[in-house]
Chains A and B, each alone.
Chain A
Amino acid sequence: MLVSINWLKDYVNTQQLPPAELGEKITRSGIEVDAVIDRSHGMTNIVVGYVESCVKHPEADKLSICQVNIGEETTQIICGAPNIAAGQKVIVARPGAKLPGDIKIKKAKLRGEESRGMICSLQELGIEGKLVPKAYAEGIYVLPEDAETGSDVITNFDLDDTVLELGLTPNRADAMSMLGVAYEVGAILSEEVQLPEISYNEVSDTAASMLTLNVDAPEANPLYVAKVVRNIKVQESPMWLQQRLMAAGVRPHNNVVDVTNYILMEYGQPLHAFDYDALGTGNITVRYAKEGEMITTLDDAERKLSGHHLVITNGEKPVAIAGVMGGANSEVSDSTTTVVIESAYFASGSVRQTSKDHGLRSDASSRYEKGVDPNRVIPAAERAAQLLSELAGGEVLAGSVVFDELNKEEKIVKVSPDFINSRLGMKIAFEDMLDILKRLKFDTQAVNGQLVISVPTRRQDIQIPEDVVEEIARLYGYDEIPATLPEAETTPGGLTPYQAKRRIVRNLMEGAGLLQATTYSLTSEKSAKQFALEETDTTRLLMPMSEERSILRQSLLPHLLESVTYNTARRMDSVALYETGSVFLKGDNELLNEQEHLAVAMTGLWLDNSWQGEKKPVDFFVLKGIVESLADKLGVQLTFERGQMDDLHPGRTAFIMHNGQRIGVMGQLHPSEQKARDLKTTIVMELNLAALLNLESEALVYTPVPRYPSMSRDVALVLSKIVEAATIETVIRNAGGKLLKDVRVFDLYEGDKMEEGKKSVAFSLTYFDPEKTLTDEEVINAHDKVLAALTEVGAELRS
Chain B
Amino acid sequence: MEAQLQELKTQALDQIAAASTVKELNDVRVAYLGKKGPITDLLKGMGKLPAEERPKMGALVNVVREEVTTQLEGRMAILEEEAINMKLQSETIDITLPGRPVKTGNSHPLTRVVEEIEDLFISMGYEVAEGPEVEKDYYNFEALNLPKGHPARDMQDSFYITEDILLRTHTSPVQARTMEAKGGEPIKIICPGKVYRRDSDDATHSHQFTQIEGLVIGEDIRMSDLKGTLSVFAKKMFGDDREIRLRPSFFPFTEPSVEMDISCFKCGGSGCNVCKKTGWIEILGAGMVHPNVLEMAGYDSKRLTGFAFGMGPERIAMLKYGVEDIRHFYTNDVRFLSQFQRTEL
CB of B45 closer than 8 Å to a CB of A: no
Q: A474-B248, A516-B107, A517-B337 are known contacts. Are A567 and B221 too (CB-CB below 8 A)?
A: no
Q: Can you give 6 contacting A-B residue pairs, CB < 8 Å?
A: A481-B227, A490-B125, A541-B161, A581-B194, A582-B133, A584-B133
Q: In the complex, what residues of A have CB within 8 A of residue B167's CB?
A: 521, 541
Alpha-carbon gap, A570 to B250, bound state (A): 45
Task: Give the most central of A426, A487, A608: most B CB within 10 Å.
Answer: A487
CB of B319 closer than 8 Å to a CB of A: no
Secondary structure class of chain A's binding surface, majority of residues: mixed
Alpha-carbon gap, A467 to B248, bound state (A): 12
Cβ A516 vs Cβ B248 within 8 A: no
Residues 755-772 of chain A, each 1 if its beta carbon lies under 8 Å from chain B, else 0: 000000000000000000
Cβ A488 vs Cβ B186 within 8 A: yes
Cβ A496 vs Cβ B128 within 8 A: yes
Cβ B165 vs Cβ A590 within 8 A: yes
Q: How far is the CB of A253 from chain B (nearest CB, A)?
A: 28
Q: A27-35, A94-102, A321-329, A734-742: which one contacts chain B? A: A27-35
Q: In the complex, what residues of B have CB within 8 A of residue A543's CB?
A: 159-160, 198
Chain A residue nearest in CB terms to B199: A545
Secondary structure class of chain B's binding surface, majority of residues: mixed
Q: A425-B224, A515-B106, A541-B160 are known contacts. Are A609 and B255 too (CB-CB below 8 A)?
A: no
Q: In the complex, what residues of A have CB within 8 A of residue B126's CB?
A: 493
Chain A positions 353-387 with a Cβ under 8 Å from a chain B Cβ: 353, 369-370
Chain B residue nearest in CB terms to A470: B256
Cβ B188 vs Cβ A491 within 8 A: yes
Chain A residue nearest in CB terms to B150: A170
CB of B236 closer than 8 Å to a CB of A: no
CB of B115 closer than 8 Å to a CB of A: yes
Alpha-carbon gap, A609 to B99, bound state (A): 9
CB of B134 closer than 8 Å to a CB of A: yes
Cβ B227 vs Cβ A423 within 8 A: no
Cβ A169 vs Cβ B121 within 8 A: no
Cβ B250 vs Cβ A521 within 8 A: no
Q: In the complex, what residues of A have CB within 8 A of residue B106's CB?
A: 510, 515-516
CB of B222 closer than 8 Å to a CB of A: yes
Cβ A479 vs Cβ B245 within 8 A: yes
CB of A424 closer than 8 Å to a CB of B: yes
Cβ B134 vs Cβ A423 within 8 A: no
Alpha-carbon gap, A578 to B107, bound state (A): 10
Q: How far is the CB of B109 from chain A (nearest CB, A)?
A: 9
**Which residues does B use to contact A, with CB under 8 Å?**
97-98, 100-101, 103-108, 110-111, 115, 118, 121-128, 130, 132-136, 149, 151-152, 154-155, 159-162, 165, 167, 186, 188, 194, 196, 198, 200, 207-208, 216, 218-225, 227-229, 231-232, 245-250, 255-258, 288, 290-291, 305, 329-335, 337-338
Cβ A352 vs Cβ B149 within 8 A: yes
Q: How far is the CB of B14 from chain A (nearest CB, A)?
A: 50
Chain A positions 537-551 with a Cβ under 8 Å from a chain B Cβ: 539-545, 549
Task: Give the most central of A30, A518, A612: most B CB within 10 Å.
Answer: A518
Chain B residue nearest in CB terms to A167: B249
CB of A749 closer than 8 Å to a CB of B: no
Cβ A493 vs Cβ B127 within 8 A: yes
Cβ A32 vs Cβ B111 within 8 A: no
Alpha-carbon gap, A425 to B252, bound state (A): 22
Q: In the complex, what residues of A have CB within 8 A of residue B133's CB?
A: 521, 582, 584, 594
Q: Of B108, B228, B288, B291, which one neighbours A483 at CB under 8 angstroms?
A: B228
Q: In the complex, what residues of B have CB within 8 A of residue A30's CB?
A: 248
Cβ B128 vs Cβ A423 within 8 A: no
CB of A280 closer than 8 Å to a CB of B: no
Cβ B216 vs Cβ A486 within 8 A: yes
Q: Of B107, B136, B161, B330, which one neighbours A520 at CB under 8 angstroms?
A: B330
Alpha-carbon gap, A25 to B64, bound state (A): 109
Q: Of A496, A517, A541, A570, which one neighbours B108 at CB under 8 angstroms?
A: A517
Q: Of A521, A541, A609, which one neighbours B194 at CB under 8 angstroms?
A: A521
Cβ A591 vs Cβ B255 within 8 A: no
Alpha-carbon gap, A493 to B100, bound state (A): 42
Cβ B152 vs Cβ A482 within 8 A: no
Cβ A469 vs Cβ B125 within 8 A: no
Alpha-carbon gap, A424 to B227, bound state (A): 10
Q: A172-B250, A474-B248, A520-B330 are known contacts. Are A466 and B291 too (CB-CB below 8 A)?
A: yes
Q: In the complex, what residues of B have CB within 8 A of residue A482's CB?
A: 224, 227-228
CB of A231 closer than 8 Å to a CB of B: no
Q: A493-B127, A515-B106, A570-B333 are known contacts. Are A539 and B223 too (CB-CB below 8 A)?
A: no
Q: Of B123, B135, B155, B161, which one neighbours A540 at CB under 8 angstroms?
A: B161
Q: Of B108, B224, B291, which one neighbours A518 at CB under 8 angstroms?
A: B108
Alpha-carbon gap, A422 to B232, bound state (A): 22
Q: A517-B108, A575-B334 are known contacts. Are A32 and B247 too (CB-CB below 8 A)?
A: yes
Cβ A491 vs Cβ B125 within 8 A: yes
Q: Told that A426-B224, A606-B103 touch, could you supply 9 new A-B pairs with CB distance under 8 A?
A: A423-B305, A466-B290, A481-B227, A488-B218, A493-B123, A515-B332, A521-B133, A576-B103, A594-B134
Chain A positions 508-544 with a Cβ under 8 Å from a chain B Cβ: 509-522, 539-544
Q: How far is the CB of B194 from chain A (nearest CB, A)?
A: 7
Chain B residue nearest in CB terms to A475: B248
Q: A494-B127, A521-B208 are known contacts. Are A486 and B225 too (CB-CB below 8 A)?
A: yes
Chain A residue nearest in CB terms to B301: A466
Alpha-carbon gap, A189 to B127, bound state (A): 44
Cβ A542 vs Cβ B162 within 8 A: yes
Alpha-carbon gap, A560 to B332, bound state (A): 9
Q: Of B100, B103, B207, which one neighbours A513 at CB under 8 angstroms?
A: B103
Q: In the complex, what residues of B have CB within 8 A of residue A549's CB?
A: 207
Alpha-carbon gap, A591 to B165, bound state (A): 7
Q: In the complex, what residues of B have CB within 8 A of residue A544's CB?
A: 159
Q: A483-B228, A590-B136 are known contacts. Are A519 and B100 too (CB-CB below 8 A)?
A: no
Q: A170-B250, A592-B134, A608-B101 are known contacts. Are A481 and B111 too (CB-CB below 8 A)?
A: no
Residues 166-202 of chain A, each 1 if its beta carbon lies under 8 Å from chain B, else 0: 0001111100000000000000000000000000000
Cβ A572 vs Cβ B334 within 8 A: yes
Cβ A481 vs Cβ B121 within 8 A: no
Alpha-carbon gap, A594 to B130, bound state (A): 12
Q: In the complex, what residues of B have CB within 8 A of residue A349's CB?
A: 149
Q: How far is the CB of A424 from chain B (nearest CB, A)?
A: 5
Q: Of A484, A493, A509, which one neighbours B122 at CB under 8 angstroms?
A: A493
Q: In the complex, what residues of B have CB within 8 A of residue A522's CB?
A: 159, 196, 207-208
Q: In the complex, what residues of B have CB within 8 A of residue A705's CB?
A: none
Cβ A485 vs Cβ B250 within 8 A: no
Q: Of B218, B246, B332, which one neighbours A577 at CB under 8 angstroms?
A: B332
Chain B residue nearest in CB terms to A426: B224
Task: Give the most central of A464, A485, A506, A576: most B CB within 10 Å.
Answer: A485
Q: How far is the CB of B289 from chain A (nearest CB, A)?
A: 10
Alpha-carbon gap, A426 to B225, bound state (A): 11
